Amino acid sequence: MLSTIVLGALSGALAGVLASLITRRLPRAKRHYRIIFVVLLVALYAVMSATIGRGLRARDIRSQAERVIEDDSAFRLLAQEEPEFKAHFIQFIVNLERQSASRDEVRAKAHEWGVEHGTRYAVRYLPESSDSAVLSFFTAFADVLKTLRLVDPSACVDYVFSPAPEAPRYFSRLSPIQLTAANQAFHAVVITAIRSPQLRVDSATGNHLVQLFSSRLKESYGAAAMPDLAALGGRTTVPRDPVRACNAIYAVVSTMLRMPPDQAAPLIRFLFSHVKY
């Protein structure tokens, strides 16, 4: 690490100067110059490590954390727009560094954390993302819901309703194909929305699409399912019945995706433009 190199160089320089001063004042000590130098080097390195070394290492670790973010286009863009995401991301990477994780391990775990937690911020950018990015994102989202509702409905509900900094570790339940899809969808939404934002869907078009969607939902699931679906509207807390809630969420998402792409994408963009975060 850079801090170790800096501390070593400073300690070596100071040890050399002090050893030279000592041997000049004590001529008999000249033949022991190397021993004196080594003793001073060890002592100075220990003292400096316990004092200025801590600050240098902390700065070095933070700098490495920021490089991990800068190396990924979506992470970099999202970090610029969302200070909270950046702060949590850097702290996660710093904690990994302090655990003496290898560089490859840090990058792999940081990337997984970034996509998993960043996805919860990325939904804010759906209204201005490209139609293709929105559809890819919701397709991956539906696949995650389908898996979680079968293996752990509580995780399914937490995935949708938990605050971003407290997002559950659901990635371990997904297949490599699902992880790749989630990663690509996340990057597409963030990059297209920030670099080339689309105009938001106007109210007239959006309301018309909502009516078409409501009709399809009733046709697919019937009137009996509507109370569960309606209960999701505007919800900010975790529902008490995870199974019913997760099934209702999946019904909404899958119905949207069965609509023609030129209706589904603007519908999703319109609906998420009215979500409060």
Each residue of 166-197: pLDDT tens digit? 444 566 777 889 888 989 999 999 999 999 99
Tokens 């998402």 identify what position? 253
Q: What is the pLDDT of residues 90-115, one digit of tens each?
A: 888 888 877 877 778 888 888 888 88
| Interatomic CA distance for residues 37 and 22, integer angstroms | 10
d(CA 232, CA 248): 8
Q: What is the reported pLDDT for 165?
A: 45
Residue given tokens 């509702």 in the structure block: 149
Which two three-digit tokens encode residue 167? 């997002």
pTM, full prediction: 0.72
Report the amino acid identity of residue 129.
Answer: S
* Structural tokens at position 133: 């990015």
Name the range with the highest mean pLDDT among 59-73, 139-153, 190-204.
Answer: 190-204
Q: What is the mean pLDDT of residues 209-227?
A: 81
The more confident residue out of 270 and 245 is: 270
Identify the CA nearest to 36 among candidates 26, 22, 46, 25.
Answer: 22
| d(C-alpha 57, C-alpha 244), whole Å | 50
Residue-level pLDDT at 29:
59
Number of continuous H segments (helices) and E segments (strands) in the chain:
13, 0
Structure confidence by residue, pLDDT tens digits, 1-12 = 444 555 456 556
Q: Which long-range contacts (CB under 8 A, 24 or more apart) does 227-236 make?
A: 235/161, 236/161
